[in-house]
Chains A and B, each alone.
Chain A
């Protein structure tokens, strides 16, 4: 079976609306060099580089990995570019891990980034081709109807989304890299912000960020420093227009979770997993994914959120870092989830560390909630 793989270095930039002080290469190098420093390595110790980002329209550079290759020390080495919509950051981590698990390389640098401030994400995502037969209005406009359907199906009270919006922003106050830092954030503040795509309020959405995240992945033989071991890795995709597709609780997400749990020997995620970094770009996706990922029974996810179980001091903290709701350099957002999961089991998450975290889930999704990437990392060797 697959070779063991470990995360031995994590590097992040500070996430912010506009990183006016760096070029695109400067941004990705900042994360990469921090990850190398964390592992006690330099570029020459790296065998291959994997780069991920969301649509090239965001920066107006087509296939920027060509331009970034030598900026990431890839000259003379293999370099790959991954693009799987919003899940791309997660997929980038998985493609890098696959190179180690397949026995092809010993040390792989994975980097994902977005420099959204070079243009405007809403513009880039609204460049509809002529003759398009469908009326989709940005990411919020796309996901709002599915949130409404979740509320109808489960009878969840309207304040659940608010609770997540507050909880993740409180966590962000403890994360030095987080973008949104809103002192005094509370339910009233969230509920006083306007509906953008009803039922989604302004403060229930993610920001637009510049930023990059990097990890050094290693084979067992070449581990340096503190490893986070990969216990499971899986991706699943499903067609967006399938008749009868459950857009609230997509089968691809359930199957992906089942696969990654099987690999990691997880039968009861609520009990066995200590902390989860889950892609929640709109607050209601926390209860939805709690059900999709098997942390709660169907229709019960919102009760888990309401009970406080997913808070930093709850029994299953979700998004201790503040999550996508607090920092969203789109192409990197998935890799940040994977990296934060690794930081937790390495005991290196700082102020937002979950005490004694030994097993963590990293999760990303994209497209019309149809692309999923997940991994489980642990303190112990699998």
Chain B
């Protein structure tokens, strides 16, 4: 699609990170297992049929039925049934040197635990290899209280932080190119004869591609609004007004900040104009529009 006036890609890093990490409550079964781990023991739980699940679940994975109420200490040693060799450890992996992931049948268990093994080389970890846990000194009740396993005699808050590279292309890029020039770009659906702003690739009503671009003025009418009393990083102060603003000539409102007027003087029907940041400060961003501010015209009639 040929949409962009400039060719530089518009890219930003985007991170999803809940501050401090998700706090997970464990429930009794996982909690017991992790508590035992903190104490340096590995336990499984017995199902109604007498199988020992390690790590323990609250249910028999085969049937969904609750497990019987009996914990059994297992291991600490176990036998590797399969392993995979990580040549280049990644952030978040348990070890910072090459290691193996392994499926380990702990002594006394009927299911297998997945964990890391510090094996030195992939050759050292053939199926059947006996491995032992290597415990962390500072244990907190987390699956990583076992730092890793190691061949014979050898050895949680969940920070989640996926990172993305977001590119503004397509219609959004076209719109932001306009915003850099100080212009609101919209598009007219030829089928519905409706003008959409921001400019978009297709009509939400009929699905037709929108080819016709329209430059809209930076004046419009507040159709409705909220007075926000909770802080937001995108607003300069509290309270602030977020409003639906119908630009003149557009058929769909944009949600934007209203400023330059006390919050409680904002009205439905109020005429407003975009206040742009100085040309020298403009970027490919909606931040070019500081807010919309009253023009002083008479209020528009609302339908």
Contact = CB atoms under 8 A, between A and B. Distances in A.
- On whether A and B touch (CB less than 8 Å), the answer reads yes
Interface residues of A, number: 66
Given A60-B160, A198-B226, A75 B62 contact: yes
Nearest to B59: A71
Interface string B195-207: 1101010001100
B224 A145 contact: yes
A242 B204 contact: yes
B286 A70 contact: no
Contact of B252 (A21, A70, A241): A241
A152 B63 contact: no
A315 interface: no
Contact of A25 (B19, B27, B226): B27
B166 A196 contact: no
Nearest to B286: A133
B25 A25 contact: no
A149 B23 contact: no
A252 to B, nearest CB: 13
A134 interface: yes
B6 interface: no
Given A132-B286, A133-B254, A137-B242, A145 B64 contact: no
Contacts of A42: 65
A21 B25 contact: yes
A271 B246 CA distance: 40
Interface stretch (B102-110, B213-221, B227-235): B227-235
Contacts of A76: 62
Contacts of B251: 243-244
- Chain A to chain B: the 8 pairs with minimum beta-carbon distance, closest first: A73-B64, A144-B226, A23-B27, A26-B27, A43-B64, A239-B204, A243-B251, A198-B227
Interface string A171-201: 0000000000000000000000011111110
Contact of A135 (B24, B61, B229, B234): B234
Given A43-B65, A244-B194, A149 B223 contact: yes
Contacts of B81: none
Nearest to A241: B204
Interface string B162-194: 000010100010011000000000000000101
Contacts of B284: 131
Nearest to A57: B16
Contacts of B227: 144, 195, 197-198
Most buried by B among A130, A144, A146: A130
Given A70-B59, A71-B58, A149-B268, A22 B204 contact: no
Contacts of B242: 135-137, 141, 145
Contacts of B16: 57, 127
A131 B65 contact: no
B122 to A, nearest CB: 28
A23 B23 CA distance: 11
B137 interface: no
Nearest to B30: A23
Contacts of A243: 192, 194-196, 204-205, 251-252
Contact of B256 (A29, A119, A135, A244): A135
B132 interface: no
Contact of A145 (B23, B61, B63, B226): B226
A129 interface: yes
B176 A21 contact: no
Contacts of A22: 25, 27-28
Interface in B27-81: 27-31, 57-59, 61-66
Contact of B59 (A60, A73, A133, A135): A73
A117 interface: yes
Contacts of B230: 137-138, 141, 196-197
A311 B148 CA distance: 60
Contact of B158 (A60, A138, A195): A60
B229 to A, nearest CB: 6
B168 A240 contact: no
Given A23-B58, A75-B62, A18 B228 contact: no
A141 B228 contact: yes
Nearest to B11: A130
A145 B225 contact: yes
Interface in A11-44: 18-27, 29, 33, 42-44
Nearest to B23: A118
B261 interface: no
Given A22-B27, A23-B25, A129 B14 contact: yes
Interface in A53-90: 57, 59-60, 70-76
A19 B25 contact: yes
B212 interface: no
Interface in B265-300: 268, 284-286
Contacts of B59: 25, 29, 70-71, 73
Given A133-B175, A137-B242, A145-B244, A60 B14 contact: no
